[in-house]
Chains A and B, each alone.
Chain A
Amino acid sequence: MESWRRHPLVFWLINLPPTLWLVVFFLLPLSIIWVFSFGEKEGVIGINVTWTLANYVRAFDPLYLEIFTKSFWFAGITTFLCLVIGFPIAIFITFSPARWRPVLLLLIILPFWTNLLIRTYALIAVLRMRGYVNFTLEWFWEKANGVLLFLGLDNVALLGERFQPLELLYNNTAVVIGLVYVHLPFMVLPLYAALDRMDKSYLEASLDLGAGQFRTFFAVTVPLAKAGIISGLIITFIPALGSFLTPDLLGGTDSQMIANVIERQFKSANDWPFGAALSYLLMYITFFALAIRALMARGTSAMEAA
């Protein structure tokens, strides 16, 4: 790096292509959308940029506020569940024998190698009325009924006349299940990274001083993995908040998230300015979350340096 700085020409030659790439394919389109968000729809495809704030004001309409709130709920619950499910998984991987760890990590990453659409349809096959979860439940229902028959209790119909399949699809629960399934790796990987980096003798010291496993977890593991936990929370929350495919395919009519609304503005509603304003609001929220993370990371990095 030092020598590059002393040769500005080389520095610029090497950095020009990526800079161009970033400008042309990222900053430029984003700027266009930003400008659009201050525009008005004109005819079918026209947009007249009048620097109006109407689109932003419209976003605060109770209808959209409710969807924003709902999105926050979905993303929040998803992030929380990912943390609760992901922490034991991360601990399990950290303390597995060294030669198993890459395999276990691979299992966590493996879903990324499959298209999200395919994974979501697979989830539908698992969750639907005639899906694998209900098949399994039905099997247990039949076995249980068989036991009751054997005990001579069949005419009482304790378990109901027929097996009632659970409605697991096309509702809010389905969306949360889907979001947790999709985002779990985002939580597990930073948690694992933090736990793996942590000196295990801190845990042994805690045990040695008389603390139990439970106490050690909350008094030592969690504080020392704080940076990883915050990273995990944020990089789970941000994509979960902007989820679009999962609520679209797994949700019911009332399970829409903000990204579904944005999609509709750009497509069927053909209202690009409003879609752009909503997109930017979502982006500002993301930046806000990242700023919080940066602030907290400054606090923890000083601690980790110890």
Chain B
Amino acid sequence: MPDNDVMISIKEVTKRFGNTVTAVDQVSIDIRPGEFFALLGPSGCGKTTLLRMIAGFELPSAGQILIDGQDMEGIAPNHRPINMVFQSYAVFPHMSVFDNVAYGLKVSGVPRAEIGPRVEESLDLVKLAGYGPRMPDQLSGGQRQRVALARALVKRPKVLLLDEPLSALDAKLREAMQLELVRLQHTVGITFIVVTHDQKEALSMANRIAVMEEGQVRQLASPAELYEAPNCRFVADFIGKTNLLQGRVGGLSGAQVLVQVEGIGPVPLSGDKEMRGEVGVAVRPEKMRLRGDGPAEDEVGIKGRVAEIAYFGEVSFVYLTDAQGRSLSVAVPNHKRTGGGAILTGQDHWCCWRPEDAILLPE
């Protein structure tokens, strides 16, 4: 029963290598048509393995993968309606750019007259018009990646898989390519699944992100939701920077949970009222403010001594250590070009934030 709202359905998929390694552990994900989806997680968490199971290069040990309603079990990679951009690009070195892009059309019996125009169109799409006669060793890394993209897109797959597509590019080019991939995905309207270990990359490109750890999906949500409402310490820590404080549930106050945070006292936080015992309180550095004279009326705060200041251009991160030895970081925007109440190491400051900006996390 094909579901129109699901392009790829991953159901309870597990992949074991030998007896000891469980690379992917009971993962269930539904990916919608036309979605830009990201698999995000630290190295070794099983992203590539999951992608390779979708492509058909690895077989699931258990579970089921459906593409456009069709069960992929027993279907070889060359018969799946998907294409992949490999981490190494895998642009055939012995073929010209044109032949690389034409390869997938030739092997699937597309009429000769149709191949030329489709290849040109595809090269156009990735801004490589006129590069057809070049050999891959005459191309830069970024151009080779575009060839890999064109070669996959020319097949008009239902889904495009990209394994760490930008990891081999330098920082400037990577940023440009992120925007370009998003533009490309809008143009062709194909479902993109991108694997990355770079949270910034995932946040800036994807519609939805599955954050993985140790073969399991920890949270599946939109970028903003992941950032503003992580559901566990791992996600809060992995996505962006965060200050994680330890607390204890002390009771309820209306709709809110009162959390006892050492050095502050009871802080009313919104969150799961079933939570008991030890909890985590996460506050993003940019949600904190530095004050010399204690928190404002609607704020809570911790006093600390400035240990270090890291200048990042648009912001500076100020690292403080409080009386308990906890380390806190506060993002201070550099609004003004000069002056503006310089903060110096060794000074005492209050790190202040509004309780509604803190995130309550289960232990």
- A201-B86, A302-B137 known; A215-B107 Cβ under 8 A: yes
> Which of A207, A219, A302, A306 meets B76, CB within 8 Å?
A207
- A209-B151, A210-B155, A211-B78 known; A204-B57 Cβ under 8 A: yes
CA distance in complex: A215, B76 (Å): 14
A108 to chain B, nearest CB (A): 26
Residues of A within 8 A of B86 (CB): 201, 204-205
Residues of A within 8 A of B87 (CB): 201
- B90-98, B174-182, B189-197: which lies at the interface: B90-98
CA distance in complex: A25, B22 (Å): 60
- A199-B88, A202-B92, A220-B92 known; A208-B136 Cβ under 8 A: no
Residues of B within 8 A of A207 (CB): 57, 76-78
Q: Which residues of chain B (134-171) have a CB below 8 Å from chain A?
A: 135-137, 151-152, 155
Do the beta carbons of B93 and A210 come within 8 Å of each other?
A: no
Residues of B within 8 A of A209 (CB): 78, 83, 103-104, 107-108, 151-152, 155
Q: Chain B 29-42 against A: per-residue CB contact (8 Å), 1 yes, 0 no?
A: 00000000000000
Residues of B within 8 A of A224 (CB): 92-94
B167 to chain A, nearest CB (A): 14
Q: Chain B 45-85 against A: per-residue CB contact (8 Å), 1 yes, 0 no?
A: 00000000001010000000000000000001111001110
CA distance in complex: A256, B107 (Å): 48
CA distance in complex: A303, B136 (Å): 9
Q: Which residues of chain B (222-251) have a CB below 8 Å from chain A?
A: none
Residues of A within 8 A of B82 (CB): 208
Residue of A nearest to B137 (CB): A306
Do the beta carbons of B90 and A201 come within 8 Å of each other?
A: yes
A44 at the B interface (CB under 8 A): no
Do the beta carbons of B94 and A212 come within 8 Å of each other?
A: no
A–B pairs, 13, beta carbons within 8 Å:
A206-B92, A206-B103, A208-B84, A209-B107, A209-B108, A209-B152, A210-B79, A210-B108, A211-B107, A215-B107, A220-B92, A224-B94, A226-B94
B253 to chain A, nearest CB (A): 57
Residue of B nearest to A209 (CB): B104
CA distance in complex: A203, B90 (Å): 9
Q: Which residues of chain A (181-225) have a CB below 8 Å from chain B?
A: 199, 201-202, 204-212, 215, 219-220, 223-224
CA distance in complex: A299, B108 (Å): 30
CA distance in complex: A302, B94 (Å): 10
Residues of B within 8 A of A199 (CB): 88, 90
CA distance in complex: A170, B261 (Å): 94
- What is the size, in residues, of chain A's interface with B at 8 Å between Cβ atoms? 23
CA distance in complex: A201, B135 (Å): 19
A254 at the B interface (CB under 8 A): no
Do the beta carbons of A208 and B94 come within 8 Å of each other?
A: no
CA distance in complex: A208, B84 (Å): 7
Residue of B nearest to A226 (CB): B94
Residue of A nearest to B139 (CB): A306
A305 at the B interface (CB under 8 A): yes
CA distance in complex: A226, B93 (Å): 12
Q: Which residues of chain A (204-252) have a CB below 8 Å from chain B?
A: 204-212, 215, 219-220, 223-224, 226
CA distance in complex: A219, B90 (Å): 14
A66 at the B interface (CB under 8 A): no
> Which of B90, B107, B135, B136 meets A210, CB within 8 Å?
B107
Residues of A within 8 A of B76 (CB): 207
Known: A209-B104, A209-B152, A212-B78. 4 other contacts (CB 8 A): A205-B92, A205-B151, A208-B77, A209-B151
Residues of B within 8 A of A210 (CB): 78-79, 104, 107-108, 155
Residues of B within 8 A of A215 (CB): 107
Specify which of A206, A210, A224, A302 lies most central, judged by the most chain B CB atoms within 10 Å of its CB.
A210
> Which of A204, A211, A302, A304 meets B90, CB within 8 Å?
A204
B96 to chain A, nearest CB (A): 11
Do the beta carbons of A211 and B103 come within 8 Å of each other?
A: yes
Top 6 nearest A-B pairs (CB, nearest first) are A306-B137, A209-B104, A306-B93, A205-B90, A211-B107, A201-B90
Residues of B within 8 A of A305 (CB): 137
A215 to chain B, nearest CB (A): 6
CA distance in complex: A209, B78 (Å): 6
CA distance in complex: A204, B82 (Å): 13
B52 to chain A, nearest CB (A): 8
